[in-house]
Structure 1
Amino acid sequence: MNETLKQEIVAYSKKIGIDKIGFATADPFQLMKERLKTQQESGLQSGFEKGTIDERTEPSQLLPEAKTIISIAVAYPSKMKNAPKSVRGDRKGIFCRASWGEDYHHVLRRRLDKLEQFILSKVPDAKCASMVDTGELIDRAVAERAGIGWSAKNCAIITPEFGSYVYLGDMITTIPLEPDVAMEDQCGSCNKCIDACPTGALLEGGKLDAKKCVAFLTQTKDVLPVEFRKKLGNRLYGCDTCQVVCPKNKGVDEHRHEELEPDPELVKPSLIPLLTMSNRDFKAKYGYMSGSWRGKKPIQRNAILALGNFKDAYALEDLKKVALEDPRPDIRATAIWSIAQIDQSENTMIFLRELRETCNESIMIDELDAIFSS
């Protein structure tokens, strides 16, 4: 019965827009547990992780009597059509590919809900627990065990069909189903992702210093440490460098799902309008994207940094207005840094000195003093 049910689940998954599906045992992820403990002790975690280490590696803690974990993968595009040009006077930022289109958490959740209803129609007394990324279970570990792909040196799952451009979701169930075979590592001696990582966050052995990862840094809300500001480039949310350089992703560009197609003007937006965007406008424009989950502040801060990295003099007056009028001292301090990156002429230095005389926020004073002492 269960082999027939497994094949029915696979067939149904294709009908509802799941590009790849695999089955794994619900045994504890013992090796992952040890790695997480080491990561935690080494201070390499981001702080965004949900749940305890036991909850993240023992499926039965999330669903008693768990027998099987179903792993799903949905492919997303790697290239956009009609991407707007970033030109002097109208510089553009960029959202990473994982934030193109509708928030993938919602997209995959809908598919998992349909899959769960199908399974319950076949086995009414079964229990299921689904999650997408924000759940306790580590989706990469599940996908690896379920044969979706291998866990690569860039800390992503790479599939033979779609490279690493896939979203992952999981469903724990009490139904015993035949597990699939895990895929062997195919990275070999290639270290292109490690070598290309802007901040050196990727470590040997498929480890990640999460707090140095540019994708993590773009989601923080405070003033960004100086050593990372230029590393952001024009990134507003996320980072794709380790995916773009991966040989396994060469030529991969899937356009299978309309809701995951990017709006070029949203995922590569003009930077200056972002500086003064209201919360209401931000939510209306970007709220449906996964890159909006931390709110507008990180995006605005990153837009300010991007303008400084472009060194575009057309942005000077807008940045000066932010430095003078924005109610958030850390945003004003970021604007001060970008102003100094763009221009240190006599007029600009006079502006900054006058600002130093009037401001009383330590975070801004430190930024200004650093400029004057350099």
Structure 2
Amino acid sequence: MNVVQLQNSIKEYAASIGIDKIGFTTAAPFLELKNRLRRQQELGYQSGFEESDIEKRTEPALLLDRAESILAIAIAYPSKMQNSPKGKKGERRGIFCRASWGIDYHHVLREKLQLLEQYISERVPDAKMRSMVDTGELSDRAVAQRAGIGWSAKNCAVITPEFGSYVYLGEMITNIPFEPDVPMEDQCGDCTLCLDACPTGALIQGGQLNAQRCIAFLTQTKKPIPEEFRAKIGNRIYGCDTCQTVCPKNKGMYNLHQSAFQPEPELAKPLLVPMLNLSNREFKETYGHVSGSWRGKNPIQRNAIIALAHFKDEASVPALSELIVKDPRPLIRGTAAWALGEIGSSEGLSAIENALMTEQDPDVRMEMEKVLETI
């Protein structure tokens, strides 16, 4: 079997195991990306979650000996939830972003890439391969764009003609010299809807993101969220889809065909108050299989508190009042105090006054004092 035949058979096999798109590119350095990443670093726009070594992010040859090609894969995820539960007064709900619906995509894509590796090894026993999904050194989007999966859009996502930007990406570096696919032309045109709609102005310009202002990033941090962003988070428990939902290229892209990513409505749009007191074990048992659980329960519970403040949910005041006294975590006590201030009930303000008498943490005290001063 020559390389062209192998490449064609890989495409057929990929489709048979549920990979929605596959593309091929060279293992040449990503020079344009390297310049962009350096600029991001200089401006302090990085999230801190990505690989810090820019050389490793842009030089595939550093990651695999005699690297020749990179396979890029894309698997679509749904943008629409069937039987979506509705929140109501006294029973408010948060929402996980679409990329956290169903089974954690890292597991699904890694499994597909392992099957591809096995398929190739059976046909080319001396093939060398290295696969990665999201947390690897390479930029999934840069690889996908160069491999013809889609174009790199102004919202910093890769948009495919078939599935919009609702796709998970992964890649495999190999020493097999596959024929590279042709990159797609940018089809965003003059549209700036994603830039205009970004709640925090995190999209600086087309294709440039200040991750420090991005709600998707902020909901994953483990520190208190700066006050300027709290009201903009709304009822988002994890992630943000605004720059995707406003995109005209995503209109009508429902992508309901991948069973692994079908949302469980009660988990994708959970009731907020019951989330506040989940133990580590309960959180893991309930949410451990979704990608939004990767940072643990603390950020999720902090975000649930912010969501209750967004709704000005008076029914949650007893639960929040208990948190500011009994919860051992300053992050949770401080956020709960702020939320009680936003809700503004006399019961909540009395709870803050009482809690302040015994509160020792200076940051929590500051949150409480700020509420009482404002009132």
TM-score under structure 2 length normalisation: 0.98
Q: Give the 5 Å matches for 1:50-199.
A: 50-199=51-200
Counterpart in 2 of 1:210?
A: 211
* 1:329 paired to 2:336: no
Q: Over residues 320-371 of structure 1, what are the superposed CA-to-partner deviations in whole Å (9 max), with x where a residue is unaligned?
A: 01111101112101000111111243x4333322222221210111111211
Aligned residue in 1 for 2:13: 12
Distance 1:121 1:20 in 2: 22
Q: Counterpart of 1:290?
A: 291
Any idea what SS the aligned residue of 1:14 has?
helix
SS of aligned partner of 1:288 = coil
- Could you say what secondary structure the match of 2:170 adopts? strand
Q: CA deviation at 1:38?
A: 0.6
SS of match in other structure, 1:358: coil
**Counterparts of 1:60 and 1:82 in 2: how far apart (Å)?**
47
Question: Secondary structure of 1:183's match?
Answer: coil
Q: Could you tell me how far apart the structure 1 residues matched to 2:266 and 2:8 are?
A: 42
* Distance across 2 between alignment mates of 1:352 and 1:280: 29
Task: State the Cα deviation string for residues 256-281 of structure 1 (Å, max 9, x = none).
Answer: 22111100000100000100000001
Aligned to 1:320: 321
| Runs of 4+ in structure 1 over 6 Å off | none
Aligned partners of 2:60 and 2:138 also within 8 Å: yes
Q: How far apart are 1:236 and its partner, in Å?
A: 0.5
CA distance in 2 between counterparts of 1:276 and 1:215 reads: 23
Shift of residue 205, structure 1, vs aligned partner: 3.1
In the alignment, the residues of structure 2 paired with residue 117 and residue 353 of structure 1 have an alpha-carbon distance, to the nearest angstrom, of: 63
Correspondence for 1:358 = 358
For 1:95 and 1:109, how far apart are their aligned partners in 2? 22
- Whether the 8 Å CA contact 2:96–2:269 is kept in 1: the answer is yes
d(CA) in 1 for partners of 2:357, 2:272: 29
Match of 1:251 in 2: 252
Unaligned runs of 5+ in 2: none
Match for 1:356: what amino acid? L
Aligned to 1:309: 310
SS at match of 2:276: helix
When residues 241 and 294 of structure 1 are mapped into structure 2, their CA distance, relative to the original with a 3 A threshold, is same
1:46 is aligned to 2:47: yes
Name the residue aligned to 1:219. Answer: 220
- The amino acid across from 1:371 in the alignment is V
The count of residues paired between Structure 1 and Structure 2 equals 373
Deviation readout 1:45-92 (Å, 9 max, x if unpaired): 010012510000000000011000000000110001111111011100
Q: Which amino acid aligns with 2:185?
A: E
Return the letter of the residue paired with 1:43.
Answer: G
1:21 matched residue in structure 2: 22
CA distance in 1, matches of 2:322, 2:64: 53
SS at match of 1:28: coil
Structure 1 residue matching 2:249: 3-state secondary structure: helix
- Once residues 50 and 222 of structure 2 are traced to their aligned partners in structure 1, the CA distance between those partners, rounded to angstroms, is 17
Q: Distance in 2 between matches of 1:45 and 1:308?
A: 29
Q: Distance in 1 between matches of 2:227 and 2:292?
A: 23
Q: Which residue of 2 aligns with 1:341?
A: 342
Question: One-letter code of the match for 2:222?
Answer: K
State the superposition RMSD in angstroms.
Answer: 0.9
Tell me if structure 1 keeps the 8 A contact 2:321–2:348.
no
- Matched-pair identity in %: 59
Matched letter for residue 29 of structure 1 = F
Query: What displacement does 1:128 show?
Result: 0.3
Matches of 1:205 and 1:241, distance apart in 2: 15
The one-letter amino acid of 1:362's match is: P
- Any conservation in 1 of the 2:321–2:352 contact (CA below 8 Å)? no
- Measure the CA separation in 1 of the matches of 2:348 and 2:260: 45
- Which has the higher mean CA deviation after the structures are superposed, 352-361 or 108-117? 352-361
Deviates more, 1:90-99 or 1:336-345: 336-345
Distance 2:314 2:199 in 1: 25
Offset from partner CA, 1:109-132 (integer Å, 9 cap, x none): 110000111111111101000000
- Distance between the aligned counterparts of 1:364 and 1:100, measured in 2? 33
2-structure distance, mates of 1:63, 1:313: 57
TM-score of the two chains, using structure 1 as the length reference: 0.98
What is the distance in 1 between the residues matched to 2:331 and 2:178?
Answer: 53
Q: Which residue of 1 aligns with 2:3?
A: 2
